[in-house]
């Protein structure tokens, strides 16, 4: 069973099924298509398969036009019908793993996807989870569901965890060139996992278990979260001392060893860094361990939007204006520069906090023309075009995301600028750092 599956994967004859056609799943679909595999994409949102079959992308930095040719050649299909999972030799789950209202893991997308595909699975398939999650998820949530369906893991089906490492719009590192960590439930599962990814990724990195692979991704993002918390805290200290923290970080970064630069901001955003450490702390508590250091970093980062709002209030007060009733333009809705990804964006948190204090909110983002539909946030807003006249109509411009497409000389002409990204040098009474 295993050898036949591996032969199909190595020979690029295996049909690849990708569940979840978003920022992680769609680049993976394109990479398998590019390498010559037939692919079926699955998503619960019918608009996504419809767009992809027409060669249209709903993610700004991803060109989906190759999918139209692949569709015409019979090498790509996209559907909401999970019964077609039976046609795939490999099924890769790329679905969200958010937090619930209590900042605890919400695995409903993972378990829902597994329960949608397992009834249609057959012997000779490999199932891989890529969604970031706490160590133990694959063995505790996926394995029992497969075994309850009558499968024997490592003999007739193969279970893998291989964390996604996508960095949207990063032209230096792509799906192909980012090394792929792979862990299997059994040695046979690991072999199948390496065959699954070995033809499309330049380098696979095998680890001893699915738990080790899950922990690897949590470590990567917790490392970033903790270091960002450090510079966010130092930003506050440096500001009180009259020191430019961005100048300090750039100077420290000239050391050729032992230092990696991280930069402060208005909070954490994206689908990983604000969430993953909480997955780890939740699981650690189940083992009787309190992760004080990680939880403190989470508190520091979570407090950053409140720090920024306080700086906005201070700057407006210097101009004789309260937050209540002030017109505030937030620059950049996306969580990081030069993408259209708004997941967990601190910009949205800032908008909500400022609006709750009575401010009249608008935003401008060349990558996000209309405020998108989101599960927990809602604004009936479209991006405000920038001009001298439009900027003059705001009491305050809050620079939250430093897109390259912003005209920084134009924005400098606004009456009041609050800069959270270190784009400008501070100017008393005009440009404030936050």
Taking the C-alpha atoms of residue 360 and residue 352, their distance in angstroms, rounded to an integer, is 10
The DSSP 8-state label assigned to residue 369 in this structure reads S
Half-sphere CA count of 405, side-chain side, radius 13 A: 15
- Determine whether 94 is an active site residue: no
Count other C-beta atoms under 10 Å from residue 15's C-beta.
Answer: 19
Taking the C-alpha atoms of residue 359 and residue 271, their distance in angstroms, rounded to an integer, is 28
Token look-up 């050898």 returns 3
Tokens (6 digits) for 397:
């411009």
Tokens (6 digits) for 95:
């679905």
Tokens (6 digits) for 69:
């040719």
SS3 56: coil
Long-range contacts of range 167-171, CB-CB < 8 Å, 24 or more positions apart? 168/23, 168/59, 168/61, 168/336, 168/339, 168/341, 169/60, 169/61, 169/338, 169/339
**182, 204 contact by CB (below 8 A):** yes
Nearest CA to 189 among 9, 309, 404?
A: 9
Token look-up 């799943």 returns 25
Tokens (6 digits) for 6:
């591996």
Count other C-beta atoms under 10 Å from residue 350's C-beta.
Answer: 27
Long-range contacts of range 365-371, CB-CB < 8 Å, 24 or more positions apart? 365/331, 365/332, 365/333, 365/334, 365/401, 365/403, 366/403, 366/405, 366/406, 367/60, 367/333, 367/334, 367/338, 367/339, 367/340, 367/403, 367/405, 368/333, 368/334, 368/340, 368/342, 371/333
Active site amino acids: 272
């Amino acid at each position: 069973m295993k050898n036949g599956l591996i032969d199909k994967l190595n020979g690029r004859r295996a049909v690849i099924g990708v569940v979840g056609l978003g920022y992680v799943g769609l680049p993976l679909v394109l990479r398998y298509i590019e390498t010559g595999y037939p692919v079926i994409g699955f998503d619960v949102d019918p608009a996504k398969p419809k767009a992809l079959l027409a060669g249209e992308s709903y993610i700004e930095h991803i060109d989906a036009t190759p999918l139209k040719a692949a569709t015409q050649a019979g090498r790509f299909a996209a559907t909401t019908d999970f019964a077609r999972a039976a046609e795939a030799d490999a099924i890769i789950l790329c679905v969200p793993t958010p937090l619930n209202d209590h900042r605890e893991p919400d695995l409903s997308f993972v378990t829902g996807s597994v329960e949608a595909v397992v009834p249609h699975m057959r012997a000779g398939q490999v199932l891989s989870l890529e969604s970031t999650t706490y160590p133990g998820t694959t063995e505790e949530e996926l394995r029992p569901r497969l075994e309850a369906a009558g499968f024997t893991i490592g003999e007739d089906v193969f279970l893998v965890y291989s964390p996604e490492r996508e960095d949207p719009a990063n032209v230096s590192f792509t799906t192909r060139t980012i090394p792929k960590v792979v862990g299997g439930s059994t040695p046979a599962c690991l072999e199948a996992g390496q065959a699954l990814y070995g033809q499309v990724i330049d380098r696979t990195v095998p680890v001893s278990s699915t738990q080790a692979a899950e922990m690897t991704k949590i470590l990567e993002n917790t490392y970033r979260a903790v270091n960002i918390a450090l510079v966010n805290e130092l930003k506050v200290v440096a500001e009180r001392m009259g020191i430019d923290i961005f100048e300090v970080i750039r100077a420290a970064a000239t050391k050729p060893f032992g230092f990696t630069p991280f930069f402060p901001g208005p909070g954490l955003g994206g689908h990983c860094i604000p969430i993953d450490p909480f997955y780890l702390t939740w699981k650690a508590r189940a083992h009787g361990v309190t992760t004080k250091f990680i939880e403190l970093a989470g508190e520091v980062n979570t407090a950053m939007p409140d720090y920024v709002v306080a700086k906005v209030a201070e700057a407006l007060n210097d101009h004789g204006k309260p937050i209540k009733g002030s017109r505030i333009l937030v620059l950049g809705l996306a969580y990081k520069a030069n993408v259209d990804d708004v997941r967990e964006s601190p910009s949205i948190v800032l908008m909500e906090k400022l609006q709750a204090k009575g401010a009249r909110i608008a935003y401008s983002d060349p990558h996000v023309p209309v405020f998108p539909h989101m599960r927990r946030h809602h604004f009936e807003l479209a991006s405000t075009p920038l001009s001298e006249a439009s900027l003059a109509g705001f009491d305050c411009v809050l620079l939250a995301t430093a897109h390259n497409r912003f005209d920084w000389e134009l924005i400098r002409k606004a009456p009041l600028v609050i800069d959270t990204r270190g784009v400008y040098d501070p100017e008393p009474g005009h440009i404030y750092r936050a």
